Chain A
Amino acid sequence: MASSCFSKSKTIIMRNLKSKNFFMLGFINHTYSITNLQFPRHLLHTISSPPLPVSNYASSSPYNYSIAFSRCFASVYGGRRLNTATSVRNSVDQLSTEAPLQQDLDFPGGRVKFTPKPVFTSSSTEERTPCYRVLNDNGQPILDGDSVKISKELAVKMYTNMVTLQVMDTIFYEAQRQGRISFYLTTIGEEAINIASAAALNYNDFVFPQYREPGVLLWRGFTLQDFADQCFGNKNDNGKGRQMPIHYGSRKHNYFTVASTVGTQIPHAVGAAYSLKMEKQDACTVTYFGDGGSSTGDFHAALNFAAVMEVPVIFFCRNNGWAISTPINDQLRSDGIVVRGKAYGVPSIRVDGNDALAIYSAVHKARKMAIEEQTPVLIEALTYRAGHHSTSDDSTKYRPVDEIERWRGDQNPLKRFRKWIETKGWWSDEAESEHRNGIRKQLSQAIQAAERVEKPPISDIFNDVYDIPSKNLTEQEAFLRRTIQKHAQDYPSNVPM
């Protein structure tokens, strides 16, 4: 019985399709569903006196027609079930109220709501992502602030390390200018980022730096002599004289060797985090990069991957406004880097990069989140590169001097943090000058010592290319040594064998 009804309605629909009368079609099906048993032939001819739905159709837009049209087929073919009285009522209601009958659809990736209006998301937000800070410009805690409380020892250690970093940068920079080392790169203006983030991490959290994070290594125990040895590339250098200055690295301190390539460390950190996840270790990886580094392809691939693989990695972006001479507005047009985290499904936070306490709290929380929830986290620290990009750069050529002076002066992170610890009674002017003088003396001694130490031996040219030296390299080394023996007078005296 039902099937015959269906087939009859099918004929009717076909006939109506031929006549291209959607209006009629909707009406017919509606009436069919009411009767359910026999096809009410007489209704075919009652177009002129339709029940309520018809007037809706007549006045509605073509869009509603098609909804009704598709719905009609659904009521006839979909489910192949008999329309009961209740369903009849439902379909009547649905037809009559013109509501969108499907609110959302289950696409691959999850349910998505529909919208009838073609609205484009804006390219910029009216309101930028707010920036988390704990201390105001004068070093006073903001009321109702939420931050991790730190002890006196920790605070003093943080501050002294920031001072050490600043002094070290100044002296090594001068050493380069004096021609004693070939190259140097300072962290002026970003001391808080370096030290505070390092303080919030554990020593077994593996660090993948860009190059403006020697403070992290300093915090973990790399000595001033170690820094000097690397810059001078002497025999005592941890890196065996293989790299340019500031390309520090130390397995012991879980600080991966700095590479000159920009942004390549970001996917490395994700891979290492994957390794940690497989080993189920209570540790995360941290990687640092600048606003410029966030433009590299590696950044995007790494964030995307990290979210998919659910690995414990902290992406720390030092947005210091400049990528050598490229200002932030020429680098990107998004609301900084923090919004990119959302695009990849990575929880993100924007933090005041000159506020040591804010950075400490943010990294502390991020680390907990990364390890407990096995998720990547993105932190964008807003700061300013108060120094030149490197000793090969003179930034006064592309930015105003007063801008640099402002950030070096009142806005610098040491000043703010110092004010805070002094109000707490943990620091004083005497302590400051004593510390600075001490560091300066240590540094000049370290530099003098590093200058006097021998350069690495020639065996260090050939080893570490492979785990076991290849045959051609051992042959070449043997050949070199024979040549040196034969022509000893031509061999430079300051290169040890």
Chain B
Amino acid sequence: MYNCHRSDRSIDFSHQLLLPASYPHSVFAIIVNHNSFFFLFYPVFQGEKMWGILSQKLGAARGLSSQVVGNYVLRLRLAPSAMPMRHYSSATKEMTVRDALNSALDEEMAADPNVFVMGEEVGEYQGAYKITKGLLDKYGPERVVDTPITEAGFAGIGVGSAYHGLRPVIEFMTFNFSMQAIDHIINSAAKSNYMSAGQINVPIVFRGPNGPAAGVGAQHSQCYGAWYGSVPGLKVLVPYSSEDARGLLKAAIRDPDPVVFLENELLYGETFPISAEALDSSFCLPIGKAKIEREGKDITITAFSKMVGYALKAAEILEKEGINAEVINLRSIRPLDRATINASVRKTNRLVTVEEGFPQHGVGAEICATVVEDSFGYLDAPVERIAGADVPTPYAANLERMAFPQIEDIVRAAKRACYRSVPMAASA
């Protein structure tokens, strides 16, 4: 969910109410923690007023024009067909990403007694973001371990236990804190199988929220996809929907190699429809396969994590302008599904990459190089690369908004790749 605030475009005050622009992150955390559903706003505003506004918006949501970009967040929150108030419905099943992760962890811990969870606040506190809710009660303190504040310490201990045959799931409160433990992730986990000549493998999963949230400042907002994506020996996964979250986390836990599992804090509360197949406890997604979320023929847009939602919205806007966009949900940064990306580019001949991380040496740079290496002759236009601004993330809501890609940025880039004229400057 993104900060919404007054901009040059007309955004009515109701939006302002629903989406507190400059609430400190801690308030969000508290709200989120006490209500694992969608009720981000509930404790803050009186119920009826909000529902009234919501139902108005619901009606309007279906046919919203592209100008009303201010409430894109609202549209994100409203899942394709249903009211986002319950995560179960009679027709299609729905699930929040948080519940998807929780259920995946629960099922894997039940299936394999070697799987255990370790991290700060994962036990008694039920998880800093409530992903591990209920696990302590169910599996006990031996399998849900609350740790002292030392990422280097518990990452190292997790790696050591994995050396000896356990299957730890190490939670970082955010991946920004993983920098304290990065030596263990890379030198002790990623490289171990190779350096020991196959004698010691490390079936460990490092998971936690990655990238920006809302108003949490520079030290809590960095995206580590490119950092971990460059290390041989690691696998790096980036789920978007609940189905992604379930399938990829299960695959990660079952995988004999170390996996870095980059979630997104703002997606935790998002509800997605989920198939019966995905709800099965043996459900698993393949690692290294991207998903084509939306088929198209004019331009390829690659994205991962939260940006997939933005790309889909952008694609809807582009559709009205006669540009049929294909949206690829990467799902896996390492190994990168070069085949799918290239096949798509060979079909559409144009590419826009979207990511929230810093532009230099980013995931988009790698995708661009991949396409140039494998499908240069098929490109009709230079690859457009959209990334976060090359600055440490500012806190002020208006500045933060400018520091990360917005839907209109994706739309503009797509138009540029299609040689349509677009206004160059981004508006605030």
- Chain A residues packing against B (C-beta within 8 Å): 206, 208, 237-240, 242-243, 247, 249-251, 256-257, 259, 261, 264, 266-276, 278-279, 285, 297-298, 300-302, 304-305, 308-309, 460, 463-467, 470-472
Contacts and interface: CB of A to CB of B under 8 A. Distances in A.
Contacts of A243: 195
Interface in B261-292: 288
Contacts of A472: 335, 338
A467 B196 CA distance: 13
A243 B198 CA distance: 13
B160 A268 contact: yes
A297 B164 CA distance: 22
7 shortest A-B CB distances, which residue pairs?
A271-B160, A301-B153, A267-B156, A268-B160, A271-B161, A271-B157, A240-B197
Contact of A465 (B145, B156, B159, B193): B193
A208 B288 CA distance: 33
A466 B157 CA distance: 21
Contacts of B183: 261, 264
A250 B200 CA distance: 9
A311 to B, nearest CB: 9
B198 A464 contact: yes
A297 B165 contact: no
**Among B142, B148, B156: residue with most chain A CB under 10 A:** B156
A297 B152 contact: yes
A298 B156 contact: yes
Contacts of B159: 267-268, 271
A476 B235 CA distance: 18
A465 B257 CA distance: 9
A249 B193 contact: no
Interface string B182-196: 011001100011111
B313 to A, nearest CB: 32
Contact of B193 (A208, A466, A470): A466
A230 B256 CA distance: 26
A29 B406 CA distance: 71
A305 B147 contact: yes
B197 A464 contact: yes
B188 A463 contact: no
A256 B200 contact: yes
A271 B335 contact: no
B93 to A, nearest CB: 33
9 contacts: A237-B197, A238-B199, A261-B183, A267-B156, A271-B158, A274-B157, A304-B148, A467-B193, A467-B201
Contacts of A466: 193, 233, 235, 257
B199 A302 contact: no
Given A300-B153, A301-B150, 8 more contacts: A242-B196, A250-B199, A267-B152, A267-B155, A271-B162, A272-B160, A466-B235, A467-B256
A298 B153 contact: yes
Contacts, number: 151
A382 B415 CA distance: 71
A268 B201 CA distance: 13
**Among B150, B235, B288: residue with most chain A CB under 10 A:** B150
Nearest to B192: A257
Contacts of A279: 165
Nearest to A287: B160
Contacts of B165: 275, 279
B157 A249 contact: no
B47 interface: no
Contacts of A272: 160-161, 163-164
Contacts of A464: 193-194, 196-198
A264 B195 CA distance: 15
B428 to A, nearest CB: 42
Given A261-B183, A267-B156, A238 B164 contact: no
Contacts of A249: 195-197, 199-200
B157 A261 contact: no
Contact of B200 (A257, A264, A308, A465): A257
Nearest to A257: B196
A268 B166 CA distance: 12
Contacts of A297: 150, 152-153
B154 interface: yes
Contact of A264 (B168, B187, B201, B339): B187
Contacts of A298: 152-153, 156
B198 A463 contact: yes
B17 to A, nearest CB: 42
Nearest to A311: B157
Contacts of A238: 197, 199
Contacts of A266: 156
A271 to B, nearest CB: 3
B24 interface: no
B160 A267 contact: yes
Interface in B116-136: 116
Nearest to A475: B338
B43 interface: no
Nearest to A251: B199
Given A257-B200, A259-B187, A239 B195 contact: yes
Given A249-B196, A268-B163, A269-B160, A305 B153 contact: yes
A276 B153 contact: no
A275 B335 CA distance: 30
A239 B196 contact: yes
Nearest to A238: B197
Contacts of A247: 195
B150 A304 contact: yes
Contact of B157 (A270, A300, A470, A471): A270
Interface string B211-252: 000000000000000000000110100000000000000000
**Among B153, B160, B257, B339: residue with most chain A CB under 10 A:** B160
Contacts of B164: 206, 271-272, 275-276, 285
Contacts of A273: 160
Contacts of A237: 197
A276 B160 CA distance: 11
Contacts of B148: 301, 304-305, 308
Nearest to B180: A297
A275 B166 contact: yes
A328 B363 CA distance: 46
A400 B105 CA distance: 59
A168 B402 CA distance: 64
B149 to A, nearest CB: 9
Contacts of B154: 267, 301, 305
Contacts of A251: 196, 199-200
Nearest to A275: B164
Interface in B84-128: 116
A268 B142 CA distance: 18
A239 B200 CA distance: 11
B166 to A, nearest CB: 5
A237 to B, nearest CB: 8
A271 B163 contact: yes
Given A466-B193, A470-B335, A261 B187 contact: yes
Contacts of B198: 240, 463-464
B152 A301 contact: yes
A270 B157 CA distance: 6
Interface string B329-350: 0000001001100000000000
B336 to A, nearest CB: 8
Nearest to B203: A467
Nearest to B339: A471
Contacts of B255: 467
Contacts of A264: 156, 183-184, 187-188
A304 B153 contact: yes
A257 B160 CA distance: 12
Contact of A267 (B153, B232, B288): B153
Contacts of B162: 271
Contacts of A285: 164
A61 to B, nearest CB: 41
A275 B161 contact: yes
Nearest to A472: B335
Given A259-B195, A271-B162, A278-B166, A301 B156 contact: yes
